[in-house]
Structure 1
Amino acid sequence: MDSAAARDPVPPVAATRPHQITTPFGASREDPWYWLRDDTRENPEVIGYLNAENAYTDAVMTPLAATRDALFDEITGRIKADDASVPYREKGWWYYVRFEEGGEYPVYARRRGSMEAPEEILLDGNALAEGKSYYQIGDWAISPSGARIAWAEDDVGRRQYVLKVKDLATGAVHEDGVAGIAPNLVWGADDETLYYVENHPETLLGYRVKQHRVGAAPAADRLVYEEGDETFYLSITRTRSERYLCIDLRATVSTEMRCAELADPSRLFVFAPRQRDFLYDADHLGGRWVIRTDWRAPNYRLMTVADADVGDRARWQEWIAHREDAFIGGFELFDDFIAFEERSEGLRRVRVIPKAGDSFLVASDEPAYVMGLSTNAEPGTHWLRYGYSSLTTPQSTWEVDVASGERRLLKTDPVLGYDASLYATERLWAPARDGTKIPVSLVYRKGFERNGRAALLQYAYGSYGASSDPRFNLAVPSLLDRGMAYAIAHIRGGQEMGRHWYEDGKLLHKKNSFTDFIDVTDFLVREGYAAKDRVAAAGGSAGGLLMGAVANMAPDRYAVMYAGVPFVDVVTTMLDTSIPLTTNEFDEWGNPAEPVYYEYMLSYSPYDQVKAQDYPALYVDTGLWDSQVQYWEPAKWVARLRAVKTDDNPLLLRTDMEAGHGGKTGRYVRFRRTSEWYAFMLDRLGVR
């Protein structure tokens, strides 16, 4: 294809330098681009190389600037400038989030008693972000009396937050200087006490829970708990009853909760001791605990235990039994019912179980959709609020009367210029090479013809049991309106079809994720949804690993690929326990210090499996301050691809020098990268 994006500019070439990576059992391999790792982010040679890659990307994209800018205007033109969330009531206040015209960041506000009362601004994200190239509010919490707000903010993109507290009556902000924390805050029993999670200075993972007194110096903060096992993630919550502070310790195959009365955190008790292959979480209301657990129940069940019997698993009583055909997800407790998310038939639904009467699934009118519990701040209500979306329906907030079954729509997020009736969605089942049926969610503009000539973008993630639900994407109509189809492949490694779907796509079964993705592509082409030479693929983070592996395994299936913040140097990263997330994820990927995992991981690691062959056109992006997937992984991968691949297809590396794993956070600016990738993709697919 004679493409405007393929001519003239010359890409930078990264130098090679000898460097051996060794394992504890003696295996070694050469990594000539290891020098691109700079933990300080200050090495001028490394920064110079990243800037050179950005300059090359700028040059390649120059002929496509008009398309990129038009796409940006088109996508952001769908955003309602002065939108607001559906208010929810809590302790006599109505809370909501709104945006101002031209504002990149949200404004958090409330009104006392009713929405007709005067507005009180809690936090103005635009004012707080002024003068900063990056800004994010990671968490916020209102004190027990409602007089103060605490929040965690990050102005670097490294996901290392700073604690701030504001007196709402006066507007005075307490600059207590508590830094290096996770975005996870819980107020204590009064307006003076806060609990937070402190991050480890090297691994950047939460490992301590501390108690802070507002106005006190961080050195005076009291240690509540410290976790010594680096394979566990740590977070804190307050129970539904508002009686307990709970520390949630979570590894891939093991969990443990430690709880204490909010008024006395020194008396922590272990809810159920950790052990391998035993997962649970619990909440408290009405004098009893409700537990969601995989104990003798791979798809989970719900159990209960009285306050007096906590700590003895033998006293747990089954409430909602395990089902082979349905996975129980998150739940919410109410005085007169319980609601939980259920995955069945590849969809995420909401099931309600009243105290009196039969359980029921909340209804939907589309074949492929996603439901989820929304903000339900008060347990005494008979109305359940939930969110709903599909590939054609923008995010909507509904509520259902549990007693009568009445449903009412509270809001559908406005999408300016968008008419849902012009689009159609399908749920398909693609056969994998081992006979497994892979669910596929597909959307296109009505009038689309299955004639084998269209262009297609296929997306997937497929790791950590995280499901890629078919929800509305504000940018996708720009593709559909140009005649493309968009598909989500619900590959193994996610949890769309239950716990076994996840188990079949991790550790020594990880390659199922990659072959599922390829097999879905072959199916869609075979069924006429796309031309075989007009397929694009996209994935980010662990989905970027997917892209890298698929590019090595089946480069001829794709004309162009997007790999966002891609986890592509699997073996080197998993051998280095100083890198954030490494030790937590041995049960996801395997520990390459063990030969069986080393050899298997090496056999699919995208960086290690680059070979002398033709590759699709590639758009790769990363953030210099990424703490999840370090920037040097995609940088090294691109350098190796440039040195080895045999084609002349463009290979772009875009590094955001001022952001981390999620890129820019503003509601408009975050679409800059999407617009650039879309322009590149449309050009490579020949879409006008």
Structure 2
Amino acid sequence: MKPIHYLSAAIISAIAGLSLNANAADSITAPVAKKVPHELVTNGHKRIDNYYWLRDDTRKDPQMLSYLQAENAYADAEMADTKTLQSQLFDEMKSRIPLHDSSLPIKSGHYYYATEMVGDNEYPIYVRSSTLDGQDKQTILDVNQLAKGHAFFNLSNVEPSPNEKLLAYTVDTVSRNLFIAKIIDLSTGKPLSDELVNIQGDIVWGNDNQTLYYIKKNPTTLLGYQVYRHTLGQTQSADELVYDETDLSYYTYLRKSKDKSTIYIAHQATEATGVHLIDANDPHAKPVAFTARDPQLIYDVQKRGDDFYILTNLGAKNSRIMKVAAKAIGDKARWQEVIPGSDTAQIQAFELFNDYLVYQVRSDAQSHIKVVSLKDGSQREVAFDGEAYSLDLYGNNELDNTVLRLQYSSFTTPTIDYDVDLTTLKLTQLKQQKVLGDFDANNYLSKRIFVKARDGAQVPVTLVYRKDTKIDGTAPLYQYGYGSYGANMDPSFKPELISLLDRGFVYATAHIRGSQMKGRGWYEDGKKLNKKNTFNDFVDVTKSLVAQGYGAKDNVFAVGGSAGGLLMGAVINQAPELYNGVAAHVPFVDVVTTMLDESIPLTTNEYDEWGNPSQPKYYDYMLSYAPYDNVKKQAYPNLLVTTGLFDSQVQYYEPAKWVAKLRDYKTDDHLLLFKTDMESGHGGASGRFNGLHETAFEYAFFLKLLKQK
């Protein structure tokens, strides 16, 4: 399909399905939220929040629900002239996805496990076989059957028991990340009576096949903080408390060592981590600290034989790999260096095998895979082609293996699954993501450039566009950003993106500070009292891309979600004139008020990311950029804001209040649309096709706004 060039309004309307008649929504009035002044006083400073009343933790207040429904009706009315376009976009995106597909089998224990997608099913079917070719394939869980009758369904964890006769799994049907664990007998397919409620999604079996470890959540803050041990057949109220996390700045997780001997209780704060160990063979074992908790120490461990290997920032800002004998845990002085740290390359992950150590390292904003022989210490790199791509290690569950499983992807390369022979480094392609229709990767170009920010920092940017798109300042530009929590938004293939690229868009991901694309320092320069660098980087990237001809100055569109929604809010307060349209999904925009309220989910865990506003220096700094507090009387771009009523990460009332205040303050007549999914949470609609409707809505919003040349 050739790109759609924007020649005239008549051509646009014919192609995009937009009406040239008067806007059907002209008679629809935008909702106006009532003002109820609510005083907030912090550090002697007073703020008035006129829309605080929109917060209802029960999510049942009639006035609040009425307002959200009115905003939904208004958004639908304003977008009524794009219904045909939305359908076209959805059909395009869905048509690229094979109806029948399956994952590669992964060996775990005596079986190979895989998932299958069939027909129009929204959810996978879990299967297993004793052979790689699946001759005796058995369906162990059909998520489509489990999801029947639920508007939202999230399966978080599927765990066979060590003897592989039972299967435990966790589900969330509300989208608040409060899970229920259930267990089935794999020989009969019938459920056991055991049911664990209000828990986190991760569960781990003890080796006696009778014991399950899980994490109980606080139903108000949604913080997982207590590890319990459940014995099959007993009630949840009789379960044993194994570990109680008293420091509310830490998240708690569970996982198991590759040799199945040890259960890890992992503790994770923003600037520190920790691990406790439980003997998986002892159903009465008590957790043992790997080492004393240190507020500046970050580490993760993997067990191999009688040693633990440690990825840590101890003495290495960009991390190094060390090891210690199992009998010497607790004493950091006995940790021995295996892979040194570097000022220019950051070690981000590692995998252990009997004979090899594989680690993933990032330098020059690109990920690389290194293989180390544990016999002679020799080190080699697995070579990949391309200028900007993502690499993900997965499915490497067993120590006794000389093959590494990974995925390679880029903006122009559908995901490829490889096995890497660790002896020869030969890559064997096992599968490539199928893209149906007339997609031809040769029609597209992806590249990595660096943009100079206002303070001289070189910001990586990954671009993709059709080769026949003119880079002369006439193409519409879609710029995405996140820039928080050290998360790297590596370029990977997105089938839905073809619908924009074939319409002449240039797509850009700005790897701004707050990520770790250039190492730990890149992250630290975009958090706490350096947070404004994140926003400045994004704005500077926009200006540079327009100046270099990658985008038309009057057709720039910006997108971000969650912390990326905070980015959008800060950017449009700073430089609204740069953007024709902005989409802010589940945006974290009321930073100060949220970070002052420890009853709100995630707040206490976020102090090391944003700062604690009870301290004046952080309060003043956060207040200077918080999108909600800095809405002012000025013209704003066209805006699409989305949320989920049951969002557990960013509560629905943050974007609701922000939109209400924007309606009151903005001096323009641009579109401001607010859509609330009344049945979902932070991740949006569940299922492999349902989410495409949301993408089609966003794309249609931007296409509706395109200014004609």
Alignment of 1:179-258 (within 5 A): 179-258=197-276
Residue matched to 1:680: 701
Q: Matched residues in 2 for 1:47 and 1:672: separation?
A: 23
Alignment of 1:168-567 (within 5 A): 168-264=186-282, 266-355=285-374, 356=376, 358-417=378-437, 418-567=439-588
1:448 Cα shift?
Answer: 1.7
SS in 2 for 1:475: helix
1:26 Cα shift?
Answer: 2.2
Counterpart contact for 1:350–1:373, Cα < 8 Å: no
Counterpart contact for 2:95–2:436, Cα < 8 Å: yes
Deviations 1:491-540 (CA, angstroms, capped at 9, x unpaired):
00000100000000000000000000000011100000111111000000
1:215 Cα shift?
Answer: 2.5
1:7 Cα shift?
Answer: 4.3
Deviations 1:173-193 (CA, angstroms, capped at 9, x unpaired):
124231111110111012211
Counterpart contact for 2:259–2:398, Cα < 8 Å: no
Letter in 2 for 1:521: T
1:91 Cα shift?
Answer: 2.1
Counterpart contact for 2:105–2:132, Cα < 8 Å: no
SS in 2 for 1:525: helix
Counterpart contact for 1:482–1:687, Cα < 8 Å: no
SS in 1 for 2:549: coil
Letter in 1 for 2:410: S
1:62 and 2:83 correspond:
no
1:155 and 2:176 correspond:
no
Q: Matched residues in 1 for 2:415 and 2:40: separation?
A: 47
Q: Point out the more displaced range, 520-529 or 340-349.
A: 340-349
Structure 1, unpaired ranges of 5+: none
How high is the TM-score relative to the length of structure 2? 0.95
1:108 to 97, 113, 126: 126
Q: Point out the more displaced range, 229-238 or 624-633.
A: 229-238
SS in 2 for 1:191: coil
Letter in 2 for 1:496: M
Deviations 1:322-361 (CA, angstroms, capped at 9, x unpaired):
0111111121110110112211110122221122463222
User: How many residues are paired up?
Assistant: 687
1:138 Cα shift?
Answer: 0.8
Q: Matched residues in 2 for 1:17 and 1:676: separation?
A: 32
Residue matched to 1:14: 33
Q: Matched residues in 2 for 1:175 and 1:650: separation?
A: 53
Residue matched to 2:671: 650
Deviations 1:565-611 (CA, angstroms, capped at 9, x unpaired):
00000000000000011001101000110111001000000000000
Deviations 1:408-459 (CA, angstroms, capped at 9, x unpaired):
1111111112221111101100010001100000000111211111101000
Counterpart contact for 2:266–2:274, Cα < 8 Å: yes
Q: Matched residues in 2 for 1:595 and 1:6: separation?
A: 46
Counterpart contact for 2:25–2:77, Cα < 8 Å: no
SS in 2 for 1:376: coil
1:101 Cα shift?
Answer: 0.3
CA RMSD of aligned residues (A): 1.4
1:660 and 2:681 correspond:
yes
Letter in 1 for 2:548: E
1:396 Cα shift?
Answer: 1.6
SS in 1 for 2:661: helix
Letter in 2 for 1:348: S
Q: Matched residues in 2 for 1:474 and 1:125: separation?
A: 24
1:9 Cα shift?
Answer: 2.6
Deviations 1:94-132 (CA, angstroms, capped at 9, x unpaired):
110110101000111111123242221111011000111
Counterpart contact for 1:349–1:370, Cα < 8 Å: no
1:72 and 2:90 correspond:
yes
Alignment of 1:630-649 (within 5 A): 630-649=651-670
How high is the TM-score relative to the length of structure 1? 0.98
Counterpart contact for 1:350–1:372, Cα < 8 Å: no
Q: Matched residues in 1 for 2:77 and 2:695: separation?
A: 18
Letter in 1 for 2:420: V
1:582 to 599, 603, 611: 603
SS in 2 for 1:670: helix
Q: 1:161 to 1:501 in 2, by over 3 A?
A: same
Q: Matched residues in 2 for 1:360 and 1:178: separation?
A: 46
Letter in 1 for 2:365: G
Counterpart contact for 1:152–1:183, Cα < 8 Å: yes
Counterpart contact for 2:128–2:134, Cα < 8 Å: no
Deviations 1:17-62 (CA, angstroms, capped at 9, x unpaired):
0101122x22220000000000000000000000000000110110
1:4 Cα shift?
Answer: 5.1
1:687 Cα shift?
Answer: 7.8
SS in 2 for 1:375: coil
Q: Matched residues in 2 for 1:6 and 1:283: separation?
A: 59
Letter in 2 for 1:58: D
SS in 1 for 2:277: strand
Letter in 1 for 2:433: D
SS in 1 for 2:136: coil
Q: Point out the more displaced range, 481-490 or 111-120.
A: 111-120
Q: Matched residues in 2 for 1:664 and 1:687: separation?
A: 33
Q: Point out the more displaced range, 638-647 or 244-253.
A: 244-253
Counterpart contact for 1:6–1:650, Cα < 8 Å: no
SS in 2 for 1:190: coil
SS in 2 for 1:76: helix
SS in 2 for 1:552: helix
Counterpart contact for 2:371–2:379, Cα < 8 Å: yes
SS in 1 for 2:168: strand
Counterpart contact for 1:391–1:425, Cα < 8 Å: yes
Q: Point out the more displaced range, 527-536 or 272-281.
A: 272-281
Q: Matched residues in 2 for 1:121 and 1:5: separation?
A: 50
Residue matched to 2:13: none
SS in 1 for 2:614: coil
Letter in 1 for 2:58: T
Residue matched to 2:3: none
Structure 2, unpaired ranges of 5+: 1-8, 10-19
Deviations 1:461-483 (CA, angstroms, capped at 9, x unpaired):
00000011111112111000001
Counterpart contact for 1:99–1:107, Cα < 8 Å: yes
SS in 1 for 2:253: strand
Counterpart contact for 1:535–1:685, Cα < 8 Å: no
Q: Matched residues in 2 for 1:4 and 1:343: separation?
A: 50
Q: Point out the more displaced range, 238-247 or 591-600.
A: 238-247
Residue matched to 2:15: none
Counterpart contact for 1:540–1:564, Cα < 8 Å: yes
